Amino acid sequence: GENVEQHPSTLSVQEGDSAVIKCTYSDSASNYFPWYKQELGKGPQLIIDIRSNVGEKKDQRIAVTLNKTAKHFSLHITETQPEDSAVYFCAASSPRDDKIIFGKGTRLHILP
Amino acid sequence: DAMVIQNPRYQVTQFGKPVTLSCSQTLNHNVMYWYQQKSSQAPKLLFHYYDKDFNNEADTPDNFQSRRPNTSFCFLDIRSPGLGDAAMYLCATSRELMGTSTDTQYFGPGTRLTVL
């Protein structure tokens, strides 16, 4: 089955700098890659997603890139703000499965 | 505005006392999922319903059951909660099964379960 690895597990960046979180997946048939942000005590919130027919997608300060050959995708947050502090999960979904497989999460700290 | 609603947000039960958590959705999605999330871990899928078709994950303990009486509601029943079942329980929905062209999964706010 699919396996998703996520790095780093913790990331601290200065406010205003960029943050990058990287994930790799194992199933070459995976075709959908969502990113979730989870604040303390809340449910995961979908912030951006990308499908395998697209290499990059951007929404304001957030962008996701996908390299199908390398089976790797990344989340980029620019001009980070204190409210970006949260745990971020990447995930992958394959037509072989009826579910999404999550990475282990990255705790992002934005330093003042 | 809320699309996936979970009640209650906090639930306290006693060891061995059955407890039911509820989820409702206003999205009219076909699929509803239940996840268990422990501290500093990723959500772990317990089971899902595609319409009335129930699908259990292989490693979900028998202690966990689910009911979906209609499209909008889904319940998680924990028959005899143990201390290890204390966790955040998340409900999610998607229009169709993951792996289709319209797959996107939306989560509710979660119910935090404490077992005394």
Residue B31 structure tokens? 């699929």
- Tell me if the bond preceding A8 is cis, omega within 30° of 0: yes
> Which residues in chain A have their CB less than 8 angstroms from residue B50's CB?
98
Percentage of chain B beyond pLDDT 90 is: 88
Residue B23 structure tokens? 């989820």
Residue A53 structure tokens? 């027919």
Say whether B98 and A32 touch across the interface (CB within 8 A).
Answer: yes
Query: Does A41 contact B at CB distance below 8 Å?
Result: yes
Query: Does A97 contact B at CB distance below 8 Å?
Result: yes
User: What is the Cα–Cα distance from A106 to A45, expressed in whole angstroms?
Assistant: 14
Residue of B nearest to A96 (CA): B99
Check whether B2 has a pLDDT greater than 70. Answer: no
Check whether B103 has a pLDDT greater than 80. Answer: no
Residues A26, A2: contact at Cβ < 8 Å?
yes
Look at residue B5 in the predicted model and tell me its pLDDT. Answer: 96
pLDDT interval class at B101 (50, 70, 90) = low
What string of H, E and C letters represents the secondary structure of A60-79? Answer: CCEEEEEECCCCEEEEEECC
What mean pLDDT comes out for the span B78-96? 96
Per-residue pLDDT tens digits for B21-70 = 999 999 999 999 999 999 989 999 999 999 999 999 999 999 999 999 99
Q: Is the torsion defined by CA of A79, A84, A90, A91 positive or negative? A: negative
Query: Does B29 contact A at CB distance below 8 Å?
Result: no
> Which residues in chain A have their CB less than 8 angstroms from residue B6's CB?
43
Least Cα distance to B107 among B9, B7, B35 occurs for B35
Give pLDDT < 70 ranges for chain A. none
Query: Does A23 contact B at CB distance below 8 Å?
Result: no
Residues within 8 A of A (CB atoms), B 40-69 only? 40-43, 45, 48, 50, 55
What is the pLDDT of chain B when averaged over all its residues? 93
pLDDT interval class at B96 (50, 70, 90) = confident
User: What is the Cα–Cα distance from B9 to A2, expressed in whole angstroms?
Assistant: 31
Query: Does A1 contact B at CB distance below 8 Å?
Result: no
Say whether B110 and A94 touch across the interface (CB within 8 A).
Answer: no
Residue B38 structure tokens? 């422990």
Look at residue A34 in the predicted model and tell me its pLDDT. Answer: 95
Look at residue B102 in the predicted model and tell me its pLDDT. Answer: 63
User: DSSP string of A82-112?
Assistant: GGG-EEEEEEEE-TTSSSEEE---EEEEEE-
Say whether A98 and B43 touch across the interface (CB within 8 A).
Answer: no
